[in-house]
Structure 1
Amino acid sequence: RTEAGVAFGDKYREASPGGWFAFDMAVDPAAANDLMCTYWGGDRGGRRFSISADGTEVAEQVLDFDAPGEFFTVRYPLSPDLTNGRDTIRLRFDSVERGRVGRVFDCRTLRR
């Protein structure tokens, strides 16, 4: 229920309703960290998903024509409880209420 593709010259990942995908990301164990994701601003129509880190929900995101014709980024703060003393965390993107996940064009962790 997940797929990868290329659009607008960039690679993306998405999942169909009921689907999910996950990956491990490096974090700074001694600093406050944020997750930053890039989405296509023209996506709409039932794109609703949650983002969790090691089983703890970080955010719920709805994509609904947020920035037509361009990419946009969202920065999500990660609780220090999730990153203190750790080098990596497992991020998971899950569909919510039969919504699609993504398209997620880029994700990275940053020191706050």
Structure 2
Amino acid sequence: MDGGSYDSPLRLVNALVTRGIACLDYAAVTDPIGAVASGSCHVADKEYMIGIYESAAQARQHPKDLAILLDGVAEMNLVLGKNWTITCPDKPTCQAVAESLGGEIFHQDA
């Protein structure tokens, strides 16, 4: 499942909450780079970054760009939907997101 499309980060956060992942304290990011809109929320004190993209192609590019940026520096865990991404703290949390919303999991070790 591709995880469907969302028109705002807050709608994606609400979808997480509806499906049992309490992503709280949403905060929008001003002038996001690469995304139409983005923001963050927290699940049990762990930050999740939410990105909404103009197209599926732009959403697909985000994990590639992030992998280059974080290569050798930090682990990358991300779920890719049709026009959205959620960067998660670790693989198990990304697995929970993908199981609840759909989408494809990307992981890269540091």
TM exceeding 0.5:
no
Answer 1 or 2: which has greater helix percent. 2
Larger radius of gyration: 1
| TM-score calculated relative to the size of structure 2 | 0.28
| TM-score calculated relative to the size of structure 1 | 0.28
